[in-house]
Amino acid sequence: MDNDNIILEIFTNTDLEKLNDLKSSKTIITEQKIRYDWSQTNNFVFFTIYQKNVQKDNFLYYIKSDHIFLIIKISETEIYPLEKIFFSKIIPSKTAITITPMKIELSLEKNIKELKWDMLEKKTNADITEKDQNILNPFTGKSIQEWTKFAQSIGEDENNQSIDHFFRKIYKDGDDDLKRAMQTSNGTVLSTNWKDVQNKNYEQEKNNKLTK
């Protein structure tokens, strides 16, 4: 079986439109309410949902090579939806589903055998962007008290050449306008100009960037 055919494969007992309709019209039980976990071998990934007494007709699934969309009908008005983008591709046609009184287990065959998945889900661009921002700028979201403590600590590590030390020194040596600029921008941008910063909503700008 070539990779192009695997990508086009779908393993399902419903259609995507029905799943989306249910998701938009029913009461959603959040992901945290029902426990699930996963494990793997060299050739398979096992995904288990710990929900008791699920009837076969109340478990809907739409499985592609890189994505899974599941819905458990809890009642006439409530559903539990679960969507995951896989760390790596699977072979949809080789999927096996077992429903017992205690749980639902999906056996998913890896497309690339012997590949160890670091996690179940692939990181999204938003996850990567936020992580990179936190690494580059560890001062996001500080309170006024934290900024004061931040400035006072500069004398403790004068020989430090890190980015952390660089920002501390800028803040300590700056005038009141510079300090207000850094506080107001919450570390979301490298700005020390109070006139540029004072009328902007940096929390909103951060959220807008993450959703693009």
pLDDT at position 32 is 76
Question: Which residue, 121, 156, 178, sits at the end of a domain?
Answer: 121
Q: Looking at residues 85-100, what average pLDDT do you find?
A: 97
Domain boundary among 121, 143, 158: 121
| Closest of 150, 142, 151 to residue 185, by C-alpha | 142
Would you say residue 93 has pLDDT above 80?
A: yes
Q: If you average pLDDT over residues 73-94, what whole number do you get?
A: 96
Domain hosting residue 30, numbered range = 3-121
- Could you give the CA distance from residue 133 to residue 128 in angstroms, rounded to a whole number? 9
Spatial separation of the C-alpha atoms in residues 3 and 138, rounded to whole Å = 42
The enclosing domain of 40 has a CATH number of 2.60.40.790
- The per-residue pLDDT for range 4-52, each reduced to its tens digit, is 777 678 999 999 999 999 999 999 998 778 999 999 999 999 999 999 9
Same domain, yes or no: 97 and 140: no
Long-range contacts of 110-115 (CB under 8 A, 24+ apart): 110/40, 110/42, 110/43, 110/44, 110/45, 111/3, 111/6, 111/65, 112/88, 113/42, 113/43, 114/42, 114/43, 115/88
pLDDT bracket for residue 129 (50, 70, 90): low
pLDDT score at 127: 53
Domain boundary at 75, 95, 121, which? 121
pTM: 0.58
Give the number of other Cβ atoms within 10 Å of residue 94's Cβ: 17
The pLDDT tens digits for 138-197 are: 555 555 555 566 556 655 555 555 556 656 666 666 667 666 666 655 554 444 455 555
